[in-house]
DNA sequence: ACAAAAGTGTTGGCCCTACACCCATGC
DNA sequence: GCATGGGTGTAGGGCCAACACTTTTGT
């Protein structure tokens, strides 16, 4: 970056840096996205991702976590930067670059009141409304990356409650990949990874017989990763 | 983004947005990175990626391509955004977020004079010097993504001259994956993809017998992608 | 007793890996 | 004629996909 460039930059108007959060959840067998009704002009009343300007004294990731917490009350959530969107005319109001970050949350953990205050709503991933600006594009890109990453990281577990059944896990993966999976093969595969701990309880909410509950074993997952992972689901 | 946030933002000092280019090339069987001697204070004389502030009237991608062209004279180059780096203290001078973008260039195409004017040098990827700020981190992250993407996109071809031999292609993939590949299996795999066109010429620069030259067939690649790609090299 | 979801094994095909020798040519 | 890299085929194993029936239990 030359001195010339720097001067040119400084005489012009301001560059804004924002971050937008793509918040995924999972509920009733569907992958969902948390969408917000915009409170300020322009585009007031339109559906939108939730975002904020990045503060000068704030790390980029911290800004994402702050936004997420303000909206849902949640902390210590799986969050990952997607990429930045920087078309010069992407926002009619400002010259604004947005860093998109996506989060996976356990949908029954979040603070429902807080979410309501923000005028937010969960939408099924394949029935999203029209969002402002390039937000639909962001979600689309995030979904692609989610599918990719789900192949070699156990991110699926971030979206389920601590205890879950194998059929539940399967339905989640089916929602992410948007296709059906074979129950026998799926069970075989995930159990062969040795990262699930079978519990003595059953969940009887979905069948008379009941399905055994499992929980994720993070230590085994770490060991698996180190010893040359062949971790890959579906 | 609330009004409160916006005001808070505006009373503070400026946020800068830069882009840094990770320029990969391939030469003499080695994957290389183009590194620049920094011309301005602070950190003048240190090795660095080349970058620039993003102009207010300029798309993010355009900024990356501009920087690349200023440094190498090249246009129409494969370029991809990596991600943004936004630790609040990552640059001691400014509060600056940098969007890292990487490019793959054919190393014999670039404008050598231009590069020399910038005080630039090609370094082998596993003998990089210490770079300023978080630039080594950027390169590290870019390499990981390069390996990933090389598995399902034929990016390797961007790094070779238009006509190349199969052994050359193999050496390139070995450089990217940093491990040796089996020559028979490699040849079988890439030929089975049907994206290489065998030419009638041979390259005799590396052996008496000579190796047949091939070129990449973009149409076949497009068809392959659409018809459910099982495209995966190494 | 029946409905509804949970759970369980085997087989065939494909792809990947490993591996050793002949070919063409310049010197 | 020999040294150097280019080019070729096969066999075994592992992994994945496809597939149907029994178990449990609430009603």
The H or E element spanning position B175 is helix B166-177
Residue with tokens 């190796």: B211
Query: Which of these, A75, A83, A80, A88, lies nearest to A100 by C-alpha position?
Result: A83
Asked if the Cβ–Cβ distance from A59 to B87 is below 8 Å, we say yes
Query: Which of these, B73, B79, B132, B71, lies nearest to B102 by C-alpha position?
Result: B79
Identify the pLDDT of residue A41.
78
A210 CB contact with strand C at below 7 Å: yes
The whole-chain average pLDDT of chain B stands at 90
For residue B12, name the pLDDT band (cuts at 50, 70, 90): very low
Instruction: Specify whether the CB–CB gap between A12 and B58 falls below 8 A.
Output: no
- What is residue B4's three-state secondary structure? helix
Q: Which residue has the higher pLDDT, B132 or A226?
A: B132
Residue with tokens 């930067």: A81
Instruction: Sort out which chain A residues have CB atoms less than 8 A from B46's CB and list them.
Output: none
For residue A230, name the pLDDT band (cuts at 50, 70, 90): low
Total length of chain B:
234
Identify the pLDDT of residue A37.
94
Of the candidate ranges A1-5, A20-24, A144-148, B62-66, the one whose mean pLDDT is the lowest: A1-5
Distance of C1' in C15 from CA in B190, Å: 14
Identify the pLDDT of residue B145.
94
Q: Which residue has the higher pLDDT, A227 or A185?
A: A185
Which residues, 6+ apart, have CB-to-CB distance to A162 below 8 Å? A215, A216
Which residues, 6+ apart, have CB-to-CB distance to A22 below 8 Å? A33, A49, A82, A100, A101, A102, A103, A138, A139, A142
Task: Work out the percent of chain A whose per-residue pLDDT is above 70.
Answer: 92
Cα gap B18→B64, rounded to integer Å: 9
pLDDT in tens, B169-204: 999 999 999 999 999 999 999 999 999 999 999 999
Structure letter (DSSP) for residue A129 = -
Instruction: Sort out which chain A residues have CB atoms less than 8 A from B119's CB and list them.
Output: none
B183 CB contact with strand D at below 7 Å: yes
- What is residue B196's three-state secondary structure? strand
Distance of C1' in D14 from CA in A233, Å: 17
User: How many CB atoms lie under 10 A from the CB of residue A147?
Assistant: 14
**Beta pairing partners, B214:** B164, B198
A residues 85..104 contacting B (CB < 8 A): 85-88, 95, 97, 99
Which residues, 6+ apart, have CB-to-CB distance to B175 below 8 Å? B26, B29, B30, B31, B125
C1' nearest to CA of A207: which nucleotide?
Answer: C5
Asked if the Cβ–Cβ distance from A83 to B84 is below 8 Å, we say yes
Cα gap A172→A174, rounded to integer Å: 5
Angle, helices B183-192/B166-177, rounded to nearest 10 degrees: 110
A192 CB contact with strand C at below 7 Å: no
Cα gap B158→B216, rounded to integer Å: 10
Residue with tokens 């991110």: A155
Given a cut of 60, whether residue B67 has pLDDT beyond it is yes
Cα gap B222→A27, rounded to integer Å: 37
Instruction: Specify whether the CB–CB gap between A24 and A146 falls below 8 A.
Output: yes
Cα gap A29→B210, rounded to integer Å: 59
The H or E element spanning position B22 is strand B16-27
Given a cut of 70, whether residue B5 has pLDDT beyond it is no
Given a cut of 60, whether residue A225 has pLDDT beyond it is yes
Residue with tokens 């971790």: A231
Query: Which of these, B183, B200, B199, lies nearest to B234 by C-alpha position?
Result: B183
pLDDT in tens, A112-149: 888 888 889 999 999 999 999 999 999 999 999 999 88
A113 CB contact with strand C at below 7 Å: no
């Amino acid at each position: 970056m030359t001195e010339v460039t720097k001067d040119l930059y400084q005489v012009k108007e301001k560059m804004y840096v924002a971050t937008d959060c793509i918040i995924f959840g999972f509920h009733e067998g569907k992958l969902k996205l948390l969408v917000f009704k915009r409170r300020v002009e322009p585009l007031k009343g339109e559906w939108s991702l939730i975002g904020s300007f990045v503060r000068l004294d704030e790390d980029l990731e911290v800004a994402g976590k702050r936004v997420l917490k303000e909206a849902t009350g949640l902390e210590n959530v799986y969050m990952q930067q997607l990429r930045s969107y920087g078309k010069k005319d992407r926002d009619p109001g400002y010259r604004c670059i947005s860093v998109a970050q996506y989060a996976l949350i356990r949908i029954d953990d979040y603070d429902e009141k807080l979410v309501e205050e923000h005028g937010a709503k969960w939408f099924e991933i394949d029935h999203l409304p029209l969002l402002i600006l390039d937000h639909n594009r962001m979600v689309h890109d995030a979904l692609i990356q989610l599918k990719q990453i789900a192949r070699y990281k156990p991110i699926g577990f971030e979206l389920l409650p601590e205890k879950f059944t194998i059929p539940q896990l399967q339905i989640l993966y089916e929602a992410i990949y948007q296709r059906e999976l074979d129950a026998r093969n799926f069970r075989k595969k995930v159990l062969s990874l040795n990262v699930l701990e079978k519990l003595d309880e059953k969940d009887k909410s979905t069948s008379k017989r009941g399905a055994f509950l499992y929980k994720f074993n993070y230590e085994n997952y770490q060991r698996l990763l180190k010893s040359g992972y062949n971790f890959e689901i579906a």
